[in-house]
Structure 1
């Protein structure tokens, strides 16, 4: 507590010094609110009610529709390149989301994320099969810091909310096409129809195709994309008081999917493989041989709805969703099992069916008091079939195979029930106090069976000796989280806030262990400012996290030669950091933006299993927690008379980080820069536009995942340099 107070006191001193400069610009800032000459206002729903971004007392970044299109954001990996404080990584085909260095490495069907992900307010347990749904998006909100009261479970690091475009009361339509290297071909389109005064309909679609970024003979090239999706949205207003949003969506994923390069470790001084040292990467991560036949396939049916009823003093909201995913993957996983065999695979089939329900009462009072109360229910029922296979004597992983191990869990269920409330009261016209509480009861259970043979014996002699048994696991957590805040609006354009929040991530179990929830306590102060007629926006914040009972996911090579994931509550860590987010409209034609973050994260007590004992890793850095990260961008509009040519350059800079708590050199991503260039032309009538782009100009080999095994190290990579051209037509 004393350290956190000292850190925040120092940050507060800097904040007050910045505030001292406000008086000179307050009048011009207030004047800009009516002139429209400055930066525009953005409406967000981060607090589950519409608020202006600059009036929302938390650290939040918004990627709007234009930025999404300009940056080609079609999946979470693309989002990581433009969203401040957000990182993305892979564990095979599974996605790991990180905000401010806080993440969860357990991507199993029981594991939970540390960053809550939702579409239109509908919570996702995992990001599996999500990439095909990021189209016709109004905005993406990235909330940094725990959101344990309003957003609840599994938001210890933050939250990402993808907001799809909703029907409007006038006709509009758009279609676009994009071509680029790696045989890229992307199409998107939408049409909005005002059927009646009370009924509007919007239909949208997307297809995304590119060949693999890796050259993997004799198999098809990996890290490809084959997806298509369609969405139908209906907005119905039968009365002045009732509004109903109904959205139906279908998406399909195909192709080879993510691939990993298995690399033989260097030989240590003792003559044994040393998996702690980073080996040279053959072919610069662009080419390695793989057997043909790997694939990924996913079909998603997604229905969601939102109904609002106006009671004058408050609005009653019912938010719901149903999602059915059928996901199959057959991946070449010889790097994981340490074999030089080219035809061993990991087969995965899951059919998660999820339900979301939330009911809220949100005040619309004109006085100093406002509130929200609500209840939340989530349920996911999944059927999991995981198999280790070998296709001996074949040149493709197709047809008959030898089953080495199977884990079949037809009954895997997660439920979460919660009640929550948050209220605020204005003590004066400028000073507001907030408080919130949430009670959550999470339950998980899984039942099924396993069948396996000794992998080492099979590789050496071909012997098959199956053993089998039943497996069952259950966990239950009851956790209360809290929020307290103090917000001060110095002027209409300048505010300061202080937040105290707690959050948690659910406990669970593996085949060999059980673990409890991990918990985080956060202290944060921030400033949100507009200066110089609203043309300069400067937002800064400082935070301190105390993190305990962290769930450590460990990759274990068992005695039979196969792997397992064990999870333990293994210790404590401390995070402290400062962020600055600046946007400057220097002239009507010149736009600068910058985000700089310093995060000092380290384990303070962290013991993990190591052979027959524990290994103390206090002082190590948590995964994907770079000390420094920054985004810089500049754009200029050239007025050609008959149209506008906009040139933009942007870069992401990041210091070194690691992909595991061991901080081995073999799992390190060195510091790097990744830059993009964009050139967009719009004619004066704005009926169409064309954009040329280059992304990852440096063609930097950037890791998205690492995984040491018994005799190999497996690496996954982000996209290499890509370039192309996109044309868009409005009707």
Structure 2
């Protein structure tokens, strides 16, 4: 958005796009350099204190994207990986911030749910029983709760973002990609870290991490707390809201009964209150509450809102989880079992007419309980043939009780039972050429029961099953010991779903994605790493709201109403030109358009307030919430000063803008955000003080937009904030 206006058309310079595309393509040319590559080892978390490193060689990054530990440069797929210190220095404090450091990843909010998208494919549904198309795995455990995708990134060992369909090994609904979060592992000996902080809007934060144990038994406990008073002013009730109050507790207990077996028991509790997404206002004053109230006064822009008198909007989630991971090494393979159980709840109260008039309020209580079990075996050793075989089971019960405070009631309950079998094998045809093929067979059964009106009025029970086989294949060639090129074909599917807020629980068939990707991974110099990938994706049977194709039924329902074609190019560069200076650059260009969307729902503003729903042919239009251009740059420099070590770090993120709807009626203009931090630590790294700033450009871009017959509502992301943090390691 520009100049704190609430709506305008986007104009993206063609020259800018050409220059950026040329810049990304030029990264591949670095593969022709010849100096030998020097490799280093990534430090363990306990060694992350500032060090007097005089080497310029880049650290070797190890990931587990293919169910085994591998160098990221050896994996024939597009992956971004980040350590905890790198995330902190870039100003990444929660999962939504990952978009500022990851090419082709974006995060927006839909009503109350954070929605990730990778390469234009993102989650749209927020109903119980629906699932993310960019699934999050926490220590290998699948996280199905859509609303629970936003949480603080404390005590993290590393994060892996897998871009593109992951239908074989991480196959549950991973049509866009997947995010793999690995928390710190308990280790022998006692150690810990603690931090406290204070910032803008009375932000208070505290973090504690303790680790202790022996070679055979070790445990860890992490506690993270953050709260503030909110950054939006409610004019009606003379108060601030849009606040956060979040507590996260994670514990791990690891047993090593012998040298071949590791057993890890983990538990998580998270209680998060965050009403920033419902700190809304009427975009351009468009609210149906104006009908019959020509003198009604209310806020129409930015960081001010008009809520009902005495009404307290709220959005809170409670998440509980436990997992058991058992790893056993055998001579020929490693066997891994991951069991996970989760209970999640959401409470939501919002004024959706965005005015002081007591017209339309909405309350929704959701629950989501799940169990998943995965068992897989991966071949051991550096052999010519490497393989992975596995099985996955998932059981989920979810529902909601959305009560319109003005009278309406819809209650739904959905159950999912799913299982899958998968396998992948890689064979070294020569020392330089490797062929990989894999596949996953999935079977899902879902049922739903809906109540419309009194709970005694129960609509018919509906059950539906779906099957899908999703193959994948790749071939990669090592040009030399520093450069690899690859070609990858991948498919994935998103499970079918029920329209959980309709008057009938109608089933909607799965989405299907097929993608081709060609990439280059190169370490041309000891201090330089470049990765470039170009891709094209066919996106079929998109689950989206549209008018029924039945001429006798003019209602708008969730259905498989659209298909899309997505092409793009993305790249990242990592440099360490001098000791203690790290630079990471990334960029992405996306062309994402609907191939076919003939019965799309759009809205036209009514003169007296509110919207009228209309049907348009959106075929050929850009996909919603997909920026054409994104770019980021992160810099991290450490030097000796003031009898200690000073670190200066920051991140610049550019988003070229996107449309919030299929008709380009409400458009987010291009924007840039800057995060920065300056810290001083003692020579041994034991104590540190840091001063940080978020959104230093004070960009006023929208974090969420929702349109309906009631009107257009939006909420802004947080403005410029500052703070200080004190931390200690022991």
Q: In the alignment, which residue of structure 1 is the partner of 2:434?
A: 432
Is it true that 1:206 corresponds to 2:224 in the alignment? yes
Any idea what the Cα deviations from partners look like across 1:107-138, whole Å, max 9, x if unmatched?
A: 11133322111111111223323544632111
Q: In the alignment, which residue of structure 2 is the partner of 1:444?
A: 446
- Counterpart of 1:607 in 2: which secondary structure? coil
Alignment partners' CA distance in 2, 1:311 and 1:297 = 45
Is it true that 1:699 corresponds to 2:698 in the alignment? yes
Seen in structure 2, the aligned counterparts of structure 1 residues 212 and 138 have a Cα distance that, compared at 3 Å, is same
Q: Is the 8 A contact 1:105 1:553 kept in 2?
A: no
Which structure carries more relative contact order (alpha carbon 8 Å, separation 6+)? 2
Shift of 1:15: 11
Is it true that 1:215 corresponds to 2:218 in the alignment? no
Q: Is the 8 A contact 1:101 1:601 kept in 2?
A: yes
Of 102-111 and 623-632, the range deviating more from structure 2? 102-111
Alignment partners' CA distance in 1, 2:141 and 2:286 = 49
Any idea what the Cα deviations from partners look like across 1:496-547, whole Å, max 9, x if unmatched?
A: 1110011111122323543211111100011111122x20111111001011
Seen in structure 2, the aligned counterparts of structure 1 residues 232 and 219 have a Cα distance that, compared at 3 Å, is farther
Q: In the alignment, which residue of structure 2 is the partner of 1:319?
A: 338
Alignment partners' CA distance in 2, 1:24 and 1:32 = 20
- Counterpart of 1:587 in 2: which secondary structure? coil
Seen in structure 2, the aligned counterparts of structure 1 residues 130 and 579 have a Cα distance that, compared at 3 Å, is closer
Alignment partners' CA distance in 2, 1:216 and 1:89 = 23
- Counterpart of 2:85 in 1: which secondary structure? helix
Q: Is the 8 A contact 2:630 2:655 kept in 1?
A: yes
Any idea what the Cα deviations from partners look like across 1:128-182, whole Å, max 9, x if unmatched?
A: 2354463211111111100001111311111111111110123211000111001
Q: In the alignment, which residue of structure 1 is the partner of 2:162?
A: 143
Shift of 1:210: 1.0
Any idea what the Cα deviations from partners look like across 1:664-689, whole Å, max 9, x if unmatched?
A: 2x2x1101111112111122121111
1:484 corresponds to which of 473, 487, 512: 473
Seen in structure 2, the aligned counterparts of structure 1 residues 344 and 632 have a Cα distance that, compared at 3 Å, is same
- Counterpart of 1:54 in 2: which secondary structure? helix
Seen in structure 2, the aligned counterparts of structure 1 residues 365 and 634 have a Cα distance that, compared at 3 Å, is closer
Seen in structure 2, the aligned counterparts of structure 1 residues 22 and 88 have a Cα distance that, compared at 3 Å, is closer
Q: Is the 8 A contact 1:474 1:508 kept in 2?
A: no
Q: In the alignment, which residue of structure 2 is the partner of 1:502?
A: 491
Any idea what the Cα deviations from partners look like across 1:605-628, whole Å, max 9, x if unmatched?
A: 212255999632122111121111
Alignment partners' CA distance in 1, 2:157 and 2:146 = 20
Is it true that 1:341 corresponds to 2:342 in the alignment? no
- Tell me the TM-score normalised to structure 1 length: 0.86
Q: In the alignment, which residue of structure 1 is the partner of 2:278?
A: 259
Alignment partners' CA distance in 2, 1:701 and 1:711 = 24
- Counterpart of 1:626 in 2: which secondary structure? coil
Alignment partners' CA distance in 1, 2:204 and 2:464 = 46
Is it true that 1:575 corresponds to 2:591 in the alignment? no
Any idea what the Cα deviations from partners look like across 1:665-720, whole Å, max 9, x if unmatched?
A: x2x11011111121111221211111111111111111122122224211022111
Shift of 1:468: 5.2
Alignment partners' CA distance in 1, 2:708 and 2:114 = 20
Alignment partners' CA distance in 2, 1:49 and 1:713 = 47
Shift of 1:333: 2.3
Q: In the alignment, which residue of structure 2 is the partner of 1:561?
A: none
Shift of 1:658: 1.2
Q: Is the 8 A contact 2:114 2:149 kept in 1?
A: no
Shift of 1:444: 1.4
Q: Is the 8 A contact 2:337 2:373 kept in 1?
A: yes
Any idea what the Cα deviations from partners look like across 1:618-670, whole Å, max 9, x if unmatched?
A: 22111121111100122332322621212123211111201222322x2x110
Q: In the alignment, which residue of structure 2 is the partner of 1:608?
A: 599
Q: Is the 8 A contact 2:306 2:356 kept in 1?
A: no
Seen in structure 2, the aligned counterparts of structure 1 residues 290 and 50 have a Cα distance that, compared at 3 Å, is farther
Q: Is the 8 A contact 2:41 2:61 kept in 1?
A: no
Alignment partners' CA distance in 2, 1:474 and 1:190 = 46
Alignment partners' CA distance in 2, 1:407 and 1:168 = 50
What is the 5 A alignment of 1:455-466?
Answer: none
- Counterpart of 1:68 in 2: which secondary structure? helix
Q: In the alignment, which residue of structure 2 is the partner of 1:359?
A: 375
Q: In the alignment, which residue of structure 2 is the partner of 1:588?
A: 579
Q: In the alignment, which residue of structure 1 is the partner of 2:347?
A: 328
Alignment partners' CA distance in 1, 2:197 and 2:460 = 49
- Tell me the TM-score normalised to structure 2 length: 0.86
- Counterpart of 1:238 in 2: which secondary structure? strand
What is the 5 A alignment of 1:547-586?
Answer: 547-553=539-545, 566-586=557-577
- Counterpart of 1:221 in 2: which secondary structure? strand
- Counterpart of 1:624 in 2: which secondary structure? coil
Q: In the alignment, which residue of structure 2 is the partner of 1:722?
A: 721
Alignment partners' CA distance in 1, 2:644 and 2:126 = 49
Q: In the alignment, which residue of structure 1 is the partner of 2:387?
A: 371
Query: Structure 2: any 5+ residue segments left out of the alignment?
Result: 1-21, 43-53, 292-297, 549-554, 603-612
- Counterpart of 2:405 in 1: which secondary structure? strand
Is it true that 1:407 corresponds to 2:400 in the alignment? no
Any idea what the Cα deviations from partners look like across 1:422-481, whole Å, max 9, x if unmatched?
A: 0000011111000001000112111131118xxxxxxxxxxxxx9955254333210000
- Counterpart of 1:89 in 2: which secondary structure? strand
Any idea what the Cα deviations from partners look like across 1:340-394, whole Å, max 9, x if unmatched?
A: 634642222222111010000110044200100010011111242111104xxxx
1:541 corresponds to which of 533, 547, 567: 533
Q: Give the paired residue count.
A: 669
Q: Is the 8 A contact 1:15 1:527 kept in 2?
A: no
Is it true that 1:29 corresponds to 2:37 in the alignment? yes
What is the 5 A alignment of 1:9-88?
Answer: 22=31, 24-25=33-34, 27-30=35-38, 37-88=56-107
Q: Is the 8 A contact 1:92 1:260 kept in 2?
A: no
Alignment partners' CA distance in 2, 1:608 and 1:166 = 51
Shift of 1:334: 2.5
Alignment partners' CA distance in 2, 1:477 and 1:119 = 26
Q: In the alignment, which residue of structure 1 is the partner of 2:609?
A: none
Q: In the alignment, which residue of structure 2 is the partner of 1:119?
A: 138
Alignment partners' CA distance in 2, 1:451 and 1:649 = 53
Q: Is the 8 A contact 1:219 1:290 kept in 2?
A: no
- Counterpart of 1:77 in 2: which secondary structure? helix
Alignment partners' CA distance in 2, 1:526 and 1:704 = 32
Is it true that 1:302 corresponds to 2:321 in the alignment? yes
Q: In the alignment, which residue of structure 1 is the partner of 2:51?
A: none
Seen in structure 2, the aligned counterparts of structure 1 residues 258 and 243 have a Cα distance that, compared at 3 Å, is same
